[in-house]
Structure 1
Amino acid sequence: MEEFFASLDINQYLPAALAWATNILLALVILIVGIWVAGKAYKGIVAIANHYPQLDDTLFKFFGSVARYTVLAFVGIAVLNRFGVQTASIIALLGAAGLAVGLALQGTLSNLAAGVMLLIFRPYKVNDFVDAAGKFGKVTEIDMFTTILQTFDNQHIIIPNSQIWGEQIINHSHHKQRGVDMHFGIAYNENIEEAKAVINKVLADHPHVLKEPVPFVEVETLNDSSVDFLVRPFCNGEHYFDVLYSVPEQVKKALDDANIEIPFPHRKVIVVNEDS
């Protein structure tokens, strides 16, 4: 046994051992530095959103994650190169796999693209009331793939972003003040000025109707059996539905108190007696 170890030439294996040790050491350095750089890239991009309140942090967290994993991918390739692994075939394989995954996830990627556009242009934000994709409700969450609405009857609606982006979006909370359109009819034999005065009195007494802009109360249509008013009071956005659902009842009671007739459709039936 001693003769066997004596016959081994240590100098023969020393360069290879040193080369492997060097590669392992460099690979560890590359890995540590790469992980540090990836973390810094993520934090730096997220810090941009934190520095500017008007920017959406969800979007920048996504961009930060993309940057971090991109750096880590290059770090992995660099580490493999240190050990002599041919990475060209691996990159080609990853590219082909990415293409296959992209084709398989076209719907998901379209939602992602739409989510990026929604978060960049911000047609609405959390707590806004919106009409989108045929649904109406308060926005409770916006992420990269979906928008979540809460309806008045407390439904939880999840809408894919691709169904929202590119379609009509009505943001009821965009402007601070809202006009509330409603219609009331009076009989033809009633005095128009008296009816307008009654309606204006109801609006003036309402706690949520603004004095400025002045409420709009004018005759809009002369229907078959009624003179119809267009009434548009203004209110702050948070009181929109309070005004919409309280004013009609108050106007009805006020017109009744003023003995102003509110017409309704009549049907006249003529009975012909054939015996006569």
Structure 2
Amino acid sequence: MEFLLEFAQGQAGLVTNAVKALLVLVVGWTLAGLVSRLIRRKVLSSESLDDTIGSFIASIARWVILLIVAVAVLGIFGIEATSLVAILGAATLAIGMALQGTLSDLAAGFMLIIFRPYKLGQFVDIAGSAGTVKDINLFVTELATADNVQIIVPNGQAWGAVITNFSHHATRRCDLVFGIDYGDDIEKAKSIILNLANNDARVMSDPEPWVRVTNLGDSSVDITARLWCSAEDFWELKFGMTQAVKEAFDKDGISIPYPHTVEIKREA
């Protein structure tokens, strides 16, 4: 009878501890989310702080709080912090071997924040994946493609790959190539392109627009225009100039030839 009583008391204590642990876990998880969101909002509302650093700090704060919660939950079940440290110390090698990729991502996350090859809101290409940077946390970088598809890049891969940042500089050069027929007036075609560039407010005057014949193709004479603009105007300038040049060529009788082959027959 006494054994059953002790067993019942033990079970009751276990249930009580489980309820306490669940309560601590829920409160801690909620608190971690609230603190993380609060830090993000504070950083976004401050003009003196970088959004990228704020996002990273918010991620660190969240994981620190969750770690404290985990220690508190284990303490409820009688596992003291000193014992936990001893256990973790003994298992460090095994954990390190099992989580090599995760630890690498963590270290790379700090390197990305220190050197900042890209920031939130910039358009980048990381190891062949292109998109706008939406988030940088301890372990991954989140990108959104032009058609709003989410791409998750582990920080270890991002740090070890070639990073192309299309938004780093304030200005970009827009290169456009137009092919005209061999029988067309080259100077006239160049003049049309140059006039359109000079009359487009998005095209910078310094460096001035550059228009030259760059290639004699199989079926066309290729004229390249190199136009400087602000980075945010790059795509609109590229699309707008392409259409404007096509319409101007049609109006002035400059043809854009299709690929073709000329057959020459010689009489015997």
Q: TM-score, normalised by structure 1?
A: 0.66
SS of residue matched to 1:243: helix
CA distance in 2, matches of 1:59, 1:139: 13
1:205 to 199, 205, 208: 199
Asked if residue 53 in structure 1 is aligned to residue 49 in structure 2, the reply is yes
Instruction: Give the drift of 1:94.
Output: 2.2
CA distance in 1, matches of 2:84, 2:196: 75
Instruction: Give the drift of 1:67.
Output: 8.9
Assess if the C-alpha contact under 8 Å between 1:56 and 1:120 holds in 2. Answer: no
Assess if the C-alpha contact under 8 Å between 1:187 and 1:226 holds in 2. Answer: yes
Instruction: Give the drift of 1:171.
Output: 0.5
Equivalent residues in 2 for 1:119-158 (5 A)?
119-158=113-152
CA distance in 2, matches of 1:59, 1:138: 17
* 1:43-79, Cα deviation, whole Å (9 max, x unpaired): xxx9xx99973682344566778999999xxxxxxxx
What corresponds to 1:13 in structure 2? none
* 1:93-125, Cα deviation, whole Å (9 max, x unpaired): 321223322222111111111111111100010
What corresponds to 1:18 in structure 2? none
Change (3 A) 1:184 1:51: closer
- Quick check: 222-231 or 177-186, which moved more? 222-231
CA distance in 1, matches of 2:57, 2:232: 30
CA distance in 2, matches of 1:229, 1:201: 14
CA distance in 1, matches of 2:141, 2:66: 25
CA distance in 1, matches of 2:84, 2:140: 33
What corresponds to 2:32 in structure 1? none
CA distance in 1, matches of 2:117, 2:215: 35
Percentage of pairs with the same residue? 43
Letter in 1 for 2:141: T
Greater C-alpha Rg: 1
Where structure 2 has 5 or more consecutive residues not aligned to the other structure, the ranges are 1-38, 69-79
Instruction: Give the drift of 1:194.
Output: 1.0
Letter in 1 for 2:201: P
Change (3 A) 1:152 1:70: closer
CA distance in 1, matches of 2:55, 2:67: 18
Assess if the C-alpha contact under 8 Å between 1:130 and 1:170 holds in 2. Answer: yes
CA distance in 1, matches of 2:93, 2:63: 17
The Cα RMSD (Å) is: 3.5
What corresponds to 2:18 in structure 1? none
* 1:179-203, Cα deviation, whole Å (9 max, x unpaired): 0112111122222211111001221
